[in-house]
Amino acid sequence: MPRGPCWDASMTGPCADFPLAVALGGWSAHIGRLCGTLDMPQPEQFRRVGKFELHELIGEGAMGAVWKAYDSVIRRYVALKLLSRAGRTADARDRFLREARAAGALQHPNIVTIYDLGESEGQLFIAMELVDGRDLSSIIALSEPLALERKLDIVIEVLQGLSYAHERGVIHRDIKPSNVRIASDGSVKIMDFGIARLQSVDATGSGAIIGTPTYMAPEQITNGAITPATDIFAVGGLLYELLAYHKPFEGETVHGVLYQVLTTDPKPLRTMAVSIPAALERVVAKALNKVPEDRYDTARQMQSALFSIRAALSGASDATARISLRWTPIPSAVLRLVTHAPLKWRAAVLTTLMATALVLLYVSRSPSPAAAPSPGLESATLEQLLTYPLPMHLNSALVAQRDSALAVRERAQRAGAMKNNVPSLILAEAVLQNAERALRSGDVARAASGYLSGIPQYRKAQTEAEGLRQDAQQAIMRATPVVHALATRPEAGRAATSLARAESLYNAMDYVVSRMAGRSACYCRISSVPSRPNGSGTCKC
């Protein structure tokens, strides 16, 4: 019998007395308000798929629909993706399962989390994290005024998530603004690994073109090899559109767009967004190169390029801080490193800072007669100096020394030296900054000496960062069995949260805090097991 508007689940049929039903309903609502449960979903009002109640259709795609659903067991809202009945062939079903397994293996702050995978009465589903916020496409559509720094931050976070996925053999293949979610707390999440493909597996097998035309790389259109460079091309298109509020490739038809992608370069970005730095235009152009081998080798490499531009922009807007520190020969960026140094490094940092002061005082009091300071050099940060044009007719030996110093600096950065503010980095950055300043001032001898002095310091910084990475890795490895052993204890949730945070920080190269989080997971074991004389209650993390 169909349930009418006055159905009472506690009865066997419709209410005979409609006013009484209304009165009972009003009293029930009053009780709900008092108990704070009025917003709890009522199971009989919604279609169910297994333990999930479908509340609101979020969107539909080629493979199915996505619903806002309520998990009645865990009692939380999720995004539930359902495989459409029209596409429920064996091939579509297998691809749907591959999507879930590929995305479910990814645990990263910038990737939507997969909670569950299953099948209910023939209906395949994936339960995913429901991200409260807005798609990047809605921000672009409204041409909302975002600061350039914020735009770069968004794309840097996208690249962080992609870098994590690529390192695990997963390629998204459909990066676009509607698949990038800006959460209410400002964090960025990549959604819909629905056409993700493991590098070692040919997931489609049919030669079908999969993706969104405006953001598809040429190799996707021509059925070429799909590699991480495919996602980098899409990120280039996304960044172009975010900066210019204009798509890089447009046409009246799908085929027209595909033709543009294959044969035409986008309009120069600075003709669309005149205020952006030339260096940023070069980054976008490199990412949108039609030849995969000529793009960035990795997402992390493109992220590093954007991070350098972002750092230069921050330095340019921090004039007040630089003015307040102008009395000292130590650059303000170096002093900021000291204030952010971990406690365990503080003594070593201060010792290094004293050595740095002596070095800088010595070199600043013995300038070359040919030196001619240029306006702005004294207040420029290192990142700004690196973007300045080089003087003409430089000695090839000096160029080689500079290239060597920059190369070893990049290796130290990739190892996490800058992220973790290791002590040797302070002296290295200060020496390189003064070498760059001397080069632009015409003091070639002092510049050469600075490059040669900075190289061993950057190597030492790289070694220190590697040591921190190993410490964090060992803390995580030791904490993992502890968390598993606490599975049935009250401390299990806290320990698992600490371990997950440690792993997330490790992936973000924040090794110092990662190690602390790993040790925190071990301490949960200590608090749950009384100390014994033989020391079995101690932690060796």
Positions marked active-site: 174
For residues 381-404, one letter each, b for 16 or more C-beta atoms within 10 angstroms of the residue's C-beta and e for the rest, the string is bbbbbbeeeeeeeeeeebeebbee
d(CA 181, CA 189): 5
d(CA 309, CA 244): 17
In this structure, are residues 299 and 162 in contact, taking their beta carbons and an 8 Å threshold?
Answer: yes
d(CA 298, CA 232): 8
d(CA 153, CA 311): 11
∠ CA 356-359-365 to the nearest 5 degrees? Answer: 135
Tokens (6 digits) for 368? 């070359």
In this structure, which long-range contacts are made by residues 394-397, counting pairs with CB atoms below 8 Å and at least 24 apart in sequence?
394/444, 395/444, 397/448
Q: Closest Cα partner for 290 from 211, 216, 214, 218? A: 218
Backbone angles phi, psi at 257, to 5 degrees: -65, -45
Backbone angles phi, psi at 134, to 5 degrees: -135, 150
* Residue that is written with structure tokens 């204009």 in the block: 246
Residue by residue, DSSP assigns 421-486 as T-HHHHHHHHHHHHHHHHHHHT-HHHHHHHHHHHHHHHHHHHHHHHHHHHHHHHHHHHHHHHHHHT
* Residue that is written with structure tokens 């009645």 in the block: 72
- Residue 300: how many other CB atoms lie within 10 Å: 19
d(CA 306, CA 310): 6
Tell me how far the alpha carbon of residue 241 is from its chain's centroid: 19
d(CA 468, CA 518): 13
